[in-house]
């Protein structure tokens, strides 16, 4: 078991050091995808994660369509305009597309060493149906490679594990390590956030075969009564992470904020209850409401682009009331 004193050394080994200048965030561009855009006979929508492929310079975008788990590839301009180049179904270990409602894809990353695609899915908790979330690895055309180990406390059990639709949501890769984030608190970690209090998410650091550590990330309270909030995406940055927090309140709208977080000095809660454990430190970098966007939709995906740019994408939930929105930011 890793001791708390080892946390700084562990995180420094996992996440690349960068310049010490305080980061600033600048709006660059926004593009809203035309409704009903199709690629390969599929409607583009539900885009919940994306990553830039260092092998091609294109982007991989995963859809959370439970009926047909799939991902797209696209060239995306410096102004956030996509040109889709392909669509691939994700396939299971038997080599066939996942049956409907058996996986719920949420994020994707490209392994720069192998070119494989790592993706996370939320599983299911619905009545007596319990399906564990997972980290899976796929070939570049969607074929099954392997499933990575899952921390025991992230497994779906009747009285513990993730809540429904609040399981593995964020995924990051750094120096051969996999970092995942659950969207909301586990059942054993306390209630979800509301407008009076925040909540917690567990961030897990692991290899394909071994869980190394877990840290507590504290979410902000919901910005208005009656809604929910959660961690939507994580991305290596400096000696820590960028964390995208997304809130939604019916009748009010979305609030999406970008934070910088570090595990320096935080408690390692692997295989432990939280019990007041010291959380990761965080600071606000940007609130999308402060940028000249046409709207702030359900932003879920986040990836680095060329030259220190940051690309965000929204999940339209295949709803005519929502849009697929590409947002380009620049970080210093």
**Which pLDDT tens digit goes with each residue over 143-178?**
999 999 999 999 999 999 999 999 999 999 998 999
pLDDT exceeds cutoff 70 at 54? yes
> What pLDDT sits at residue 165?
96
> What pLDDT sits at residue 23?
64
Segment 37-41 shows an average pLDDT of: 98
Look up the pTM and report it: 0.93
Residues 185/231, Cβ–Cβ less than 8 Å: no
pLDDT exceeds cutoff 80 at 19? no
> N- to C-terminal Cα distance for the chain?
37
> What pLDDT sits at residue 12?
40
Q: HSE on the CB side for 209, CA within 13 Å?
A: 0
Mean pLDDT across the chain, nearest whole number? 94
Q: Cα(116)–Cα(119) distance, rounded to whole angstroms?
A: 10
Q: HSE on the CB side for 322, CA within 13 Å?
A: 22
Largest interatomic CA distance in the chain: 53
131 falls in which pLDDT band (50, 70, 90)?
very high
Residue 151's CB is within 10 A of a number of other CB atoms, namely 19
Report the percentage of the chain scoring pLDDT > 70. Answer: 93
Residue 247's CB is within 10 A of a number of other CB atoms, namely 23
> What pLDDT sits at residue 332?
80
Strand-pair partners of 104: none
Segment 312-327 shows an average pLDDT of: 98
Spell out the domain ranges in the chain. Answer: 4-13+25-331
Architecture of the CATH domain 4-13+25-331: 5 Propeller (2.115)
Tell which residue, 285, 297, 294, 295, has the closest CA to residue 329.
285
Q: Starting at the edge strand that comes first in sequence, how are the strands of the sheet with 228-237 ordered?
A: 228-237, 240-249, 253-262, 281-287
pLDDT exceeds cutoff 80 at 8? no
pLDDT exceeds cutoff 90 at 193? yes
Report the percentage of the chain scoring pLDDT > 90. Answer: 91
Q: Cα(247)–Cα(261) distance, rounded to whole angstroms?
A: 18
């Amino acid at each position: 078991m890793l001791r708390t004193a080892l946390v700084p050394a562990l995180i420094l080994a996992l996440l690349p050091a960068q310049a010490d200048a305080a980061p600033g965030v600048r709006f660059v561009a926004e593009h809203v995808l035309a409704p009903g855009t199709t690629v390969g006979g599929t409607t583009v929508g539900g885009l919940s994660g994306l990553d830039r492929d260092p092998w091609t310079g294109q982007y991989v975008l995963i859809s959370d369509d439970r009926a047909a788990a799939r991902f797209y590839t696209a060239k995306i301009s410096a102004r956030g305009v996509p040109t889709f180049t392909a669509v691939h179904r994700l396939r299971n270990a038997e080599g066939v597309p996942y049956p409907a409602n058996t996986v719920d894809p949420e994020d994707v990353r490209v392994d720069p060493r192998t070119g494989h695609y790592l993706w996370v899915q939320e599983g299911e908790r619905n009545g007596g149906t319990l399906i564990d979330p997972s980290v899976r690895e796929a070939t570049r055309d969607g074929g099954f490679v392997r499933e990575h180990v899952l921390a025991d406390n992230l497994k779906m059990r009747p009285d513990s594990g993730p809540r429904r639709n609040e399981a593995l949501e964020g995924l990051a890769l750094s120096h051969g390590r996999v970092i995942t984030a659950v969207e909301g608190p586990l059942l054993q970690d306390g209630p979800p956030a509301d407008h009076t209090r925040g909540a917690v998410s567990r961030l897990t650091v692991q290899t394909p075969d071994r869980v190394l550590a877990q840290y507590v990330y504290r979410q902000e309270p919901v910005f208005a009564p009656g809604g929910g909030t959660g961690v939507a995406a994580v991305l290596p940055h400096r000696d820590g992470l960028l964390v995208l927090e997304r809130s939604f309140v019916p009748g009010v709208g979305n609030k999406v904020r970008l934070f910088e977080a570090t595990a320096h000095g935080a408690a390692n809660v692997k295989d432990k209850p939280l019990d007041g454990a010291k959380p990761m430190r965080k600071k606000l970098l940007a609130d999308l409401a402060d940028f000249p966007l046409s709207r702030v939709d359900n932003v879920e995906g986040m990836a680095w682009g060329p030259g220190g740019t940051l690309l965000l994408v929204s999940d339209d939930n295949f709803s005519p009331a929502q849009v697929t929105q590409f947002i380009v930011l620049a970080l210093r």
